[in-house]
Amino acid sequence: MADATTSLSPALARYARAADLARQGEGEAASAASFGALLEKVLEDAVAAGRESERVATGALVGEANLQDVVAAVHAAEVTLQTVVAVRDRMISAYQDILRMPI
Protein backbone atom coordinates (compact mmCIF):
# COMPACT_ATOMS: atom_id res chain seq x y z
CA MET A 1 0.00 0.00 0.00
CA ALA A 2 2.91 2.37 0.64
CA ASP A 3 4.00 2.00 -3.02
CA ALA A 4 0.55 3.02 -4.26
CA THR A 5 0.57 6.07 -1.98
CA THR A 6 4.06 7.00 -3.14
CA SER A 7 3.12 6.72 -6.82
CA LEU A 8 0.00 8.83 -6.29
CA SER A 9 1.71 11.63 -4.35
CA PRO A 10 2.79 13.60 -7.48
CA ALA A 11 -0.81 13.55 -8.73
CA LEU A 12 -2.14 14.53 -5.30
CA ALA A 13 0.35 17.39 -5.16
CA ARG A 14 -0.90 18.61 -8.57
CA TYR A 15 -4.51 18.46 -7.38
CA ALA A 16 -3.60 20.44 -4.25
CA ARG A 17 -1.74 23.03 -6.32
CA ALA A 18 -4.74 23.32 -8.69
CA ALA A 19 -7.07 23.79 -5.72
CA ASP A 20 -4.79 26.52 -4.33
CA LEU A 21 -4.81 28.31 -7.69
CA ALA A 22 -8.60 28.07 -7.83
CA ARG A 23 -8.94 29.58 -4.34
CA GLN A 24 -6.75 32.56 -5.19
CA GLY A 25 -9.25 34.21 -7.57
CA GLU A 26 -11.81 36.72 -6.27
CA GLY A 27 -14.77 38.09 -8.25
CA GLU A 28 -15.85 37.30 -11.81
CA ALA A 29 -12.88 38.84 -13.62
CA ALA A 30 -10.40 37.27 -11.23
CA SER A 31 -12.20 33.92 -11.56
CA ALA A 32 -11.88 34.03 -15.33
CA ALA A 33 -8.19 34.91 -15.05
CA SER A 34 -7.56 32.27 -12.40
CA PHE A 35 -9.43 29.65 -14.44
CA GLY A 36 -7.14 30.38 -17.37
CA ALA A 37 -4.12 30.25 -15.08
CA LEU A 38 -5.40 27.01 -13.58
CA LEU A 39 -5.78 25.40 -17.01
CA GLU A 40 -2.36 26.61 -18.07
CA LYS A 41 -0.72 25.24 -14.92
CA VAL A 42 -2.51 21.88 -15.18
CA LEU A 43 -1.43 21.50 -18.81
CA GLU A 44 2.16 22.43 -17.93
CA ASP A 45 2.09 19.82 -15.14
CA ALA A 46 0.70 17.21 -17.56
CA VAL A 47 3.50 17.86 -20.02
CA ALA A 48 6.08 17.77 -17.21
CA ALA A 49 4.71 14.44 -15.94
CA GLY A 50 4.92 12.98 -19.45
CA ARG A 51 8.49 14.18 -19.87
CA GLU A 52 9.46 12.80 -16.46
CA SER A 53 7.94 9.46 -17.38
CA GLU A 54 9.92 9.41 -20.63
CA ARG A 55 13.12 10.40 -18.80
CA VAL A 56 12.74 7.61 -16.24
CA ALA A 57 11.85 5.05 -18.94
CA THR A 58 14.92 6.06 -20.93
CA GLY A 59 17.00 5.78 -17.77
CA ALA A 60 15.71 2.25 -17.26
CA LEU A 61 16.76 1.30 -20.79
CA VAL A 62 20.33 2.34 -20.10
CA GLY A 63 20.32 0.80 -16.61
CA GLU A 64 20.09 4.01 -14.58
CA ALA A 65 16.59 3.47 -13.13
CA ASN A 66 14.83 0.46 -11.69
CA LEU A 67 11.49 -0.94 -12.80
CA GLN A 68 9.64 0.40 -9.75
CA ASP A 69 10.65 3.98 -10.63
CA VAL A 70 9.46 3.46 -14.20
CA VAL A 71 6.09 2.09 -13.10
CA ALA A 72 5.59 4.97 -10.64
CA ALA A 73 6.48 7.62 -13.25
CA VAL A 74 4.27 6.05 -15.92
CA HIS A 75 1.40 5.75 -13.45
CA ALA A 76 1.72 9.43 -12.46
CA ALA A 77 1.71 10.43 -16.13
CA GLU A 78 -1.33 8.22 -16.77
CA VAL A 79 -3.29 9.73 -13.85
CA THR A 80 -2.43 13.22 -15.07
CA LEU A 81 -3.51 12.39 -18.62
CA GLN A 82 -6.79 10.90 -17.38
CA THR A 83 -7.44 14.10 -15.42
CA VAL A 84 -6.75 16.29 -18.44
CA VAL A 85 -9.05 14.16 -20.60
CA ALA A 86 -11.82 14.30 -17.99
CA VAL A 87 -11.56 18.11 -17.73
CA ARG A 88 -11.57 18.40 -21.52
CA ASP A 89 -14.67 16.21 -21.78
CA ARG A 90 -16.48 18.28 -19.14
CA MET A 91 -15.55 21.53 -20.88
CA ILE A 92 -16.85 20.24 -24.21
CA SER A 93 -20.05 19.09 -22.54
CA ALA A 94 -20.54 22.50 -20.92
CA TYR A 95 -19.91 24.24 -24.23
CA GLN A 96 -22.46 22.02 -25.96
CA ASP A 97 -24.99 22.78 -23.19
CA ILE A 98 -24.44 26.50 -23.75
CA LEU A 99 -24.99 26.06 -27.50
CA ARG A 100 -28.31 24.28 -26.83
CA MET A 101 -29.66 27.13 -24.69
CA PRO A 102 -32.49 29.11 -26.26
CA ILE A 103 -31.70 32.69 -27.08
Higher pLDDT, 13 or 27: 13
pLDDT of 2 above 90: no
pLDDT the model gives residue 90 = 92
Tell me 90's DSSP state: H
Span 53-81, pLDDT tens digits: 899 889 888 888 888 888 888 888 888 88
Which of 43, 56, 47 lies closest to 84, judged by CA?
A: 43
CB 37 within 8 A of CB 17: no
- pTM, two decimals, is 0.58
In the chain, where are the structural domains located?
Answer: 2-100
CB 7 within 8 A of CB 71: yes
